[in-house]
Amino acid sequence: MSRGRFVFRKTTLVLPILVVTGCMNTSMQDLERYVDGVKARPPGPIEPIPEVEQVETFFYMPAGRNDPFEPQEPQKEKAADEQVPGSGITPDQFRRQEELEAFPLDSIRMRGTLRQQDAMWGLVTTQDGVIHRVKVGNYMGQNHGQIMRISEEKIELTEIVPDGKGGYRERRASLVISGEGAK
């Protein structure tokens, strides 16, 4: 390697280090001057502490009202429309689950129908793309949905869902062929 190249390489390595070091010294001096200037300013007035508003005290006088800290007495009568838990409609917990009951109803899509020997079958797909053949009486969806009717336009189901009072109620649902899913 020639001496000129050697000097050139050393210069190109050392020169950027010197430039960066020089910039750092200048900016530090500027920063120190600015801090000294801020410290030299006279202090401003301190704002007074805001006054605290007095809140009017409220005394609870039960006088015929329910005391929120006492347990409530159980109601003597049940409303006529209230169901007793354990009576009425309930899903069959001992029935063998069908494959389509593992999927939420809104993830199942109706793709068409098939008629074989006077029996109407529905063709549905699940979210994993598998096509299933269903008939009246089959179950699908996670709410014990039983197929009640199959037409060329839709599959009608009756689901058994919790009513929020410890019991169950029936709810109608359908899958339409347009691919919109459960309604």
Tallying the residues shown for the chain, one arrives at 183
**pLDDT digit string, tens, across residues 98-143:** 999 999 999 999 999 999 888 899 999 998 889 999 999 999 999 9
Residue, of 11 and 151, whose pLDDT is higher:
151
Looking at residue 52, the DSSP 8-state letter turns out to be: P
Give the pLDDT of residue 22.
63
In the structure, what pLDDT confidence band is assigned to residue 80 with cuts at 50, 70 and 90? very low
Domains, the chain? 99-182 (2.30.30.830)
φ/ψ region of 164 (left if φ > 0, alpha if ψ in -120 to 50, else beta) reads left
Residue 13: is its pLDDT beyond 50? yes
User: What pTM does this model have?
Assistant: 0.51
